[in-house]
Amino acid sequence: MRSITMQLVLLAGVANAWGPWGWHGYDQLTVSTTSGHVHGKIDPEAPNVRQFLGIPYAQPPVGDLRWKAPEALSQPDKQLEATQLPPSCNQFLTSTGSSLYVRDVLEFNLQGLNRTGSTSEDCLTASVWTPVGQKHGGRWWGHSKQQGLPVLIYIYGGGFSTGGQDVPYQIPTQWVNRSPDHIVVSFNYRLNIFGFPAAKGLEDQNFGLLDQRAAVEWVKENIGAFGGDPSRMTLFGQSAGAASVDYYNFAYPEDPIVTGLIMESGTAMIPIGGDATGGSFDLVANNVGCDGLANDTTAQLACLRKVPAQTIESFVANYSDRGASPGLEFGPIPDGNSVFQNYTTRALDGKQAKIPAIIGSNLDDGVAFAPYNPAGPNTTLAHAALLATFFCPGTKTIRLRQQTGRQTYSYRYSGNFTNISPRPWMGAYHSSELPLLFGTHPNYRGPSTALEYATSHAMQDAWVAFAKDPVNGLESQDWKVCEKLGAKEVREFGDGVAAKDVSLAKVEAQC
């Protein structure tokens, strides 16, 4: 009897050590978190991946919690069905004008639509894509007794106005299915007026960025239950998401939680922001039933917190689509907490996390920001947009990191693949690297080429190698640290070969 008891104790200890998914088959899809007992799914077309979709990581930011910092959520006994991608935070996709994202390629929009996809104010959720365990003797076992898997936490772009987990090109199922040696987490954060109101009466600002920190904290606390290693987490993002990564880097220099940073076409130097005067917020208030309260900020906020979120969002959408003046601006503003006035000074003062980073941009990042023309944009305007908005801010960030001893890797994405760029002039436009990274490139407009697959695998493997070990992991990819600008230390992806090293001295000289 004593022997049997001891065996049961040992089995229980093994199960606890390997997480709740470590021994019985059904436990593969049931994970205990601070948000509840989460039940996920495995899709037949991606048998190597367990998906846990739409898990709340903070209290719903509704009612009195609208325009407040995210509040912790603790409901460990709740049963949660996590098998469908959740609604995104309130936003709108403009119904006017033209761009390649609504004319040529829809898969960067919510649900692949050319209209606003599913949204809700109750949107602070995260999704986890993690490998299945190994099956031995009819039972499922974890990947490692000692160490969990590296984790890549993604922050989507969209100008701090759009984006979410349910963007077809940015769903990582195929990536994790191909290389089931890492975990990817994506999450929603508040956007536009709900995330970045710049209202004069608020104690905090930049709620979308505070949401991001809350999500990282939730991942740290819970990722072990999904088989992840909370000591090996890399924060990566694209465009506004990349800027968010760098904002985070400067906001939490002593406690970054994550061990690596990846910034794709964006850094804290990117020229984007909101109306710090509060004028945009006042304009909205005056048009949704809270007029005349601009001088009584407490009353104004109390009034606006009672207005339905859709009423506010509809006004913002309709006003913006009309091209009315003055224009509405809702984005990050300096508050001395999550966003700062002078990043050069802050960097030189050592007030950024001392952890490695990958920083880069796309060859044709500016194409999408020149006036749309089906025959091709004005190349002068496109190149100016590339330099001013993406390449030169990134170059400045890399230079500052070099000056302050922050280990940095530099890259450029130059792929031009027909199923991603259906018009020849699109080239390696803004966001076009994402289908390669997430492995979603063959899903639309025809099959992918051999070079496209090779480029995808090269990028995926590099990002995972970095997440495994940000200091030394890229040695396995023969990718050198960028010690100085102008040197042949930039990894270029997709230009004739999957990856090669180049110098960008000629372009850097234009900054």
The predicted-structure confidence for 416-433, as pLDDT tens digits, reads as follows: 999 999 999 999 999 999
- Give percent above pLDDT 90 in the chain: 90
Domain ranges, ordered by start, for the chain: 21-508
User: According to the model, what pLDDT value does residue 146 have?
Assistant: 55
pLDDT of 135 over the 90 cut: no
Please measure the distance between the N-terminal and C-terminal CA atoms of the chain and give it in whole angstroms: 77
**Residue 472: left if φ>0, alpha if ψ -120 to 50, beta else—which one?**
alpha
Q: What is the DSSP string of 390-448?
A: IIHHHHHHHHHHHHTT--EEEEEE----TTT--SGGG-SBTTTTHHHHHT-GGGSSSPP
Query: Helices (H), strands (E): how many in the chain?
Result: 15, 17
Q: Lowest-confidence range among 2-11, 204-213, 322-331, 480-489?
A: 2-11
User: According to the model, what pLDDT value does residue 19 have?
Assistant: 40
User: According to the model, what pLDDT value does residue 97 have?
Assistant: 75
User: According to the model, what pLDDT value does residue 3 have?
Assistant: 36
Confidence category of residue 18, pLDDT binned at 50, 70, 90: very low
Three-class SS state of 111: helix
Q: Give the residue with greater pLDDT, 5 vs 310.
A: 310
26 DSSP 8-state letter: G
With beta carbons less than 8 A apart as the criterion, state whether 155 and 249 touch: no
Confidence category of residue 96, pLDDT binned at 50, 70, 90: confident
Average pLDDT over residues 435-457: 98
Average pLDDT over residues 487-510: 98
Tokens 């990043």 identify what position? 343
pLDDT of 145 over the 90 cut: no
Three-class SS state of 284: helix
Average pLDDT over residues 194-204: 95
β-pairing, 139-141 with 134-136?
antiparallel
Of 3.40.50.1820, 3.30.70.240, 3.90.100.10, 3.30.413.10, the CATH number of 21-508 is: 3.40.50.1820
User: According to the model, what pLDDT value does residue 26 have?
Assistant: 45
β-pairing, 490-493 with 139-141?
unpaired
User: According to the model, what pLDDT value does residue 98 have?
Assistant: 87
pLDDT of 109 over the 70 cut: yes
Tokens 């508050």 identify what position? 335
Looking at the DSSP assignment, which residues form a beta bridge with residue 493? 413, 499
Confidence category of residue 5, pLDDT binned at 50, 70, 90: very low
d(CA 406, CA 400): 8
pLDDT of 349 over the 50 cut: yes
**Residue 118: CB atoms within 10 Å:** 14
pLDDT of 461 over the 50 cut: yes
- Nearest-CA neighbor of 244 among 276, 213, 217? 213
Q: What is the pTM of this model?
A: 0.93
pLDDT of 36 over the 70 cut: yes
With beta carbons less than 8 A apart as the criterion, state whether 410 and 484 touch: no
Catalytic site residue from 88, 239, 244, 280 = 239
**pLDDT one-digit tens code per residue, 355-408:** 999 999 999 999 999 999 999 999 999 999 999 999 999 999 999 999 999 999
pLDDT of 225 over the 80 cut: yes
β-pairing, 183-187 with 125-131?
antiparallel
- Give percent above pLDDT 70 in the chain: 92
User: According to the model, what pLDDT value does residue 13 have?
Assistant: 32
User: According to the model, what pLDDT value does residue 363 have?
Assistant: 98
Q: Rounded to 5 degrees, what are φ and ψ at 342? A: -130, 105
The encoded tokens of residue 293 equal: 């309260």
Q: Is 74 a catalytic residue?
A: no
User: According to the model, what pLDDT value does residue 27 have?
Assistant: 67
d(CA 52, CA 173): 11
User: According to the model, what pLDDT value does residue 22 have?
Assistant: 39
Confidence category of residue 449, pLDDT binned at 50, 70, 90: very high
User: According to the model, what pLDDT value does residue 510 have?
Assistant: 97
**pLDDT one-digit tens code per residue, 280-319:** 999 999 999 999 998 999 999 999 999 999 999 999 999 9
User: According to the model, what pLDDT value does residue 134 have?
Assistant: 52
220 DSSP 8-state letter: H
Q: What average pLDDT does the chain have?
A: 92
User: According to the model, what pLDDT value does residue 4 have?
Assistant: 35
**Residue 264: CB atoms within 10 Å:** 29
User: According to the model, what pLDDT value does residue 455 have?
Assistant: 98
User: According to the model, what pLDDT value does residue 188 have?
Assistant: 98
User: According to the model, what pLDDT value does residue 28 have?
Assistant: 86
